[in-house]
Amino acid sequence: MRALRAADPWFDFSEWRKVVDSVRRSVESKQTSELIDIVRKSDKYEVVRAGKLIEIRDTELGWLRHGWVYPSLVNLYRRCARQLYIEVSRITDGKPLLVTRPQLEAMVRGILVHEEWRKRFAIGETEVELVSEALKVRGVADEVARSVGLVVEVKSGYGFDDVAVAVQAKLYAIMAEEMGLMDAVAARVVSPRGVFEPALRSDLAASYVQRVRIVIEDALNNREPPPRLSPSVRSRCETCPYRLKDCATLKSAGTIFDWLESRGFQVRRPQRTLLSYTSSSS
Ligand code: SF4
């Protein structure tokens, strides 16, 4: 699926990329304790304990308990629905989330890059709280630039999931439109890879909200969790902080397609291999 298409930047993109690359190099060179200090100073996270895995609380996710979905959770859903289930369960049980050193670097990069965006590149209002009563979605847009009719989603890394980011940006545009903030709202994703606009329909974005909502509701109601990742993408488990803890102790059956179908979604399953190998010795 092509979820993003290139868009013309309205700011100095090469300068922006230099800033992001310089932040990345600086973050990679820091000690874990220095990274934790930066996280501690941000409003977004509270550091509970610093060990091999860092324990944090995300202070912006309190509305989960009341059935609201945050656009940023689409990314976690796309990485692993089971991990989303685990994190929601932890939040509602009052337990901290677990973070590895690479995740800590990504968090700090996000904090510092967003600071730079606000100080040097934004032309509109930053950190704008948006809500859609119709979709029961809420979140904080990085920027709402009314003068050019844009909501802006800033990405601090190169390795993001195009679909998750497109859904996220599209949802911010839907929310800004529903709130009547601008006459015509377009979304832009600003990343070191380039500037993109989401190329997906509103109903597809809404369908992702529904998937995320079902995982959240299942976690809140202690229903069966989504299955483990399929073998083709299980390499993601190697970097998951819950691999040896929560994930190992939860029940697991079937595939994500079985799980989605059991929740009423029609899914297109990937085709099994069409050609099977036969040897042709002669
Ligand atoms: S270990 Fe793998 S399957 Fe389990 S929650 Fe983490 S990413 Fe998902």
**pLDDT tens profile 30-75:** 999 999 999 999 888 899 998 889 999 987 777 888 889 999 999 9
Per-residue pLDDT, 2: 60
* Residue 96 one-letter amino acid: P
| Ligand 1: lining residues by beta carbon, under 6 Å | 80, 82-83, 86, 228-229, 236-237, 240, 242-243, 247
Cα angle 252, 274, 260; round to 5 = 30
Question: What are the pLDDT digits (tens) for 170-183?
Answer: 999 999 999 999 88
CA distance 257 to 268: 8
Per-residue pLDDT, 245: 87
| Residues of the chain falling short of pLDDT 70 | 1-2, 270-282
CA distance 253 to 186: 41
Question: Mutate which of 234, 243, 244, 251 to test ligand 1's pocket (most atoms within 8 Å of Cβ)?
Answer: 243
Instruction: Give the position, in ligand 1's atom list, of the atom nearest the Cα of 229.
Output: 3
Per-residue pLDDT, 39: 94
Q: What ranges do the domains of the chain cover?
A: 4-227+238-257
DSSP strands (E only) in the chain: 4-6, 45-50, 54-58, 97-99, 125-132, 137-145, 150-154, 186-191, 194-198
Q: Please give the structure tokens belonging to residue 2.
A: 């092509």
The protein residue with its alpha carbon nearest to ligand 1, atom 4, reads: 247
Q: What are phi and psi of 259, to 5 degrees?
A: -65, -45
Ligand 1 geometric centre to CA of 137 (Å): 25
Residue of 281, 220, 231 whose CA lies nearest to 256: 231
Per-residue pLDDT, 253: 81
CA distance 16 to 236: 30
Ligand 1 geometric centre to CA of 83 (Å): 6
Note the CATH number of domain 4-227+238-257. Answer: 3.90.320.10
Ligand 1 geometric centre to CA of 48 (Å): 23
Per-residue pLDDT, 264: 84
Per-residue pLDDT, 58: 85
Per-residue pLDDT, 220: 92
DSSP class of residue 225 equals P
Instruction: Give the position, in ligand 1's atom list, of the atom nearest the Cα of 80.
Output: 8
